Structure 1
Amino acid sequence: MSSQKETISWIKLQSTFLPLKNPISDAKVLTGRQKPMTEIAILFCEVETTEGHRGLGFSYSKRAGGPGQFAHAKEIAPALLGEDPNDIAKAWDKLCWAGASVGRTGLAAQAIGAFDVALWDLKAKRAGLSLAKLLGAQRDSVRCYNTSGGFLHTPLEELLVNTDISREKGIGGIKLKVGQPNWALDIERVSKVRAHLGDAFPLMVDANQQWDRPTAMRMGRIFEQFNLIWIEEPLDCYDAAGHAALAAQLDTPIATGEMLTSVLEHWDFIRQSGADFLMPDGPRVGGITPFMKVATLAEFAGLQIAPHFSMELHIHLAAAMQREPWVEHFEWLEPLFNERLEVKDGRMIVPTRPGLGVSLSDNVAAWTRETAEFGKRA
């Protein structure tokens, strides 16, 4: 056994663009703020040590931002060479300070997220444990809900078919997109889906920040009749006070947080009671290290957690939380990986493979536009 300290010796970055089968539209498209989404930019990071241990991490961007994440990651990557891979918090801080002049949130944090996830994956693999077990798992399955079948570009009849498909797969909840300029269409869709599912089946809605405060209150009161698990992003993602007012006055829980990109931004919502369900996104907030800080703060404040997107990562983080979260079932990223997550009886099964339990599929090479390598292979 070598007495020399194991260090990070090689890093590979890839800028990969995942094509979506159909253009995706939510309320931000119908209100004219964005165009339909046709692809997702993925920032992959592979890290290898002097002892040959390897880890895989990723971050992502929808619509703009992918090339910017890759560019920032290239600039800060050399700061990790020669570092001890065990010291993940130290590595996060070093990467943050390497690019400190552009801030500690947004694109800069998202770029760091790919490195952070890779180091956690490496650590779990080296220990022969799943990431969930390394973090201290509380459960071996987590309740899950589907979002991908409920977007606004989907006609109502197809929406009902999608809910049946999700239930047949064993998914435990359904989320619908709302926030259209014509409120009546939102009410009709939610009403029809609730009747189709029955009164007890878990149902959520997501307005994607497209209401103002009066509209959100009116719609929230109308939606009380549908027994929703939550109303998601009814207001601008930074309006903590507005979300807090809704949470205080409506019986239906309020959910938000997916667009926040730092622990501090989440803390603003937590301290103002701006959500009943906080929805941190691991890659967006800067990786597993800051995500777990957010989860701990939320736990002490009595908030529930429902991580946004990236189920391949979030299933592990959800398994380690004291209060059981909801995991969002999005199959969009599946073509990137060789493995598949299992769903049964309304719950997503936590993988037992070491680390994240995923490996890159052959599709990734075909969809990769840029790569960059630093250091030398072991």
Structure 2
Amino acid sequence: MIPRQRRDPNMSAPDVVAPDRIETIRLSSCFLPLATPVSDAKVLTGRQKPMTEIAFLFAEITSAQGHRGLGLSYSKRAGGPGQFVHAREIAPALIGEDPNDIARLWDKLVWAGASVGRSGLSTQAIAAFDVALWDMKARRAGLPLSKLIGAQRDSVRCYNTSGGFLHTPLDQVLVNIDASREKGIGGIKIKVGQPDCAADLKRIDTIRKHLGDAFPLMVDANQQWDRPTAQRMCRAFEPYGLVWIEEPLDCYDFEGHAALADKFDTPIATGEMLTSVAEHADLIRWRGTDFVNPDAPRVGGITPFLKILSLADQAGLMIAPHFFMELHVHLAAVYPREPWVEHFEWLEPLFNERLEIRDGRMLVPSRPGLGLSLSDQARAWTRDSVEIA
């Protein structure tokens, strides 16, 4: 019989963590103007208009114990006002709840708006709350978000996309490439998918010669090729030693992406337009990609994003999260395999802090939480706001 252990009466009682509760939520609808209208292949094929602004949904959550968290979601071209309205409707469900119960609260919010779906705009609105709760939890612990989750590294490889859009003349793209390399950025992604495939090939041939054979280069067709065109272009791009070819087909053509990934040496990347864990699970089940491009705001926040990372890791895939480097540098840092993070300087005016880049890598901030605070400029660009208490 094992003797029962007695507690030493001289030992102090263990600390008991007092429960907390969500007290106030401030929602803001902010529109960031772009200096130049932006075009990719979707514009050249007539499916979209040039992008002139990005809509952001900010959630600032405060607890009864005085802890704070900042989260956001976003939408390009359309959907921003809809995210704000949906968030405003479901926000009261969080009042009085323990902010540490993040997974349970995600489920509560998704069921609060389940009649309009559990993916797409409804869960993208939830992302702002989810990110804010994770930010609060990490701040409360005095840790960067990556350290709270469990970091694998303190820096992540980064590549620039913003300098290589199709509205930018080729000579200016080369200038942008040189500027990115001078900043210490470690890779370059160029938009392709023009109606004239020869123009794409000329563009990439010139850029590869400018960069040299060894510098990491990616291309992105933004879903604008059909299957025969994608086959021809993937074959034509084989000699250029690309890190990946992104979105050669419609994002839901998992079978077509799988055929390209199986046939060609150049890796395939896709996933940025998928809006749920279930959609990413189907993509991975089909083996439709070599690099998964999940977007935390688009899939509903950090909570579902971590589930996607687990699926990708089990399948032995690489990841390169889409857009929003200020959040994704933390999430990429927890992935077991060496990831990439996408560099866009577009969001920098929204925050008081800046990310540091050195020797081809983006450094994970050491500040607690996301390490971000909204700038006065973000407040000035806010068109609508509401406080729920």
TM-score by length of 2: 0.95
Q: Deviations over 1:296-315 (max 9, x none)?
A: 00000011100000000000
1:108 is the counterpart of 2:114: no
1:1-378 pair list within 5 angstroms: 5-375=19-389
For 1:20 and 1:299, the matched residues in 2 are separated by 35
Letter in 2 for 1:151: F
CA pair 51-224 structure 1, distance change in 2 beyond 3 A: same
Deviations 1:207-247 (A, max 9, x none): 00000000001000000010000000000011100100000
TM-aligned CA deviation for residue 2 of structure 1 = 10
Question: How far apart, in 2, do the equivalents of 1:284 and 1:111 lie?
Answer: 9
CA shift at 1:4, angstroms? 5.8
Aligned length: 375
Measured in 2, the distance between the counterparts of 1:37 and 1:15 equals 18
Q: Tell me how far apart the structure 2 counterparts of residues 82 and 94 of structure 1 sit (CA, whole Å).
A: 13
Secondary structure at the counterpart of residue 235 of structure 2: helix
Unaligned 5+ segments in structure 1 are none
Q: Give the secondary-structure state (helix, strand or coil) at the position aligned to 2:346.
A: helix
SS in 1 for 2:100: coil
Return the alpha-carbon distance in structure 2 between the equivalents of residues 340 and 164 of structure 1: 21
Identity of aligned residues (%): 73
Q: For the structure 1 residues 4 and 306, does the alpha-carbon distance in structure 2 shift closer, same or farther, using more than 3 Å as the test? A: closer
Q: Within 1, Cα distance between the matches of 2:339 and 2:213? A: 21
Name the CA distance, whole Å, in 1 between partners of 2:260 and 2:86: 37
Encode CA deviations 1:284-337: one digit per residue, 9 max, x unaligned: 000000000000000000111000000000000011111111000011100000
SS of equivalent residue, structure 2 residue 347: helix
Superposed CA offset, 1:64-93 (max 9, x none): 000000010001000011111111000100
Q: Distance in 2 between matches of 1:131 and 1:366?
A: 27
Report the AA paired with residue 265 of structure 1.
E
Tell me the distance in 2 between the aligned counterparts of 1:38 and 1:64. Answer: 11
Question: 1:124-159 deviations in whole A, cap 9, x for unaligned?
Answer: 000000001101111111000000000000101111
- Give SS of 2:87's match: helix
Over the aligned positions, Cα root-mean-square deviation in angstroms equals 1.0
TM-score, length basis structure 1: 0.98
AA in 2 matched with 1:233: E
Task: Report deviation, 1:5.
Answer: 2.4
Query: Which amino acid is 2:198 matched to?
Result: A
What SS does structure 2 have at the residue aligned with 1:187? helix
Deviations 1:317-359 (A, max 9, x none): 0111111110000111000000000001000001000000010
